[in-house]
Amino acid sequence: MSIRTNPPLHVVGFLATRRGDPDRGPQVSLRATDAAERLLADGDLVYLSGPRRQELAVLRIDDAVPRGGVVLRDIAGVAVSEIVRLHKR
């Protein structure tokens, strides 16, 4: 995948869950237009490449996320305001 079809994304939010929460685990929320640009669909497994590590997560489509941004849940090693890339598994 070239840089033109996989531009970097800005982390605009982070959610952390606790033991016993009904929805847990690594998840990436992304706007539908950004997902379509990367040929990704809701529920796909994606690799999130951050500055310090790479993590496997489930993709969720959420149009409340700003264009060019992602909201992460339960992904360690990535902080808000960092730049990440998504790669289809």
b/e per residue 39-73 (b: at least 16 CB within 10 A): ebeeebebebbbeeeebebebbbeeebeeeebbbb
pLDDT tens track for 13-41: 999 999 988 889 999 999 999 999 999 99
Q: Considering the domain boundaries, does residue 52 fall inside one?
A: yes
Amino acid at 68: G
Q: Looking at the predicted structure, is the pLDDT value of residue 12 above 90?
A: yes
Read off the pLDDT of residues 54-63 as tens digits, 9 standing for 90 and up: 999 999 999 9
Residue ranges making up the domain that contains 34:
9-88
Which domain CATH number covers 84?
2.40.40.20
The domain tally of the chain equals 1
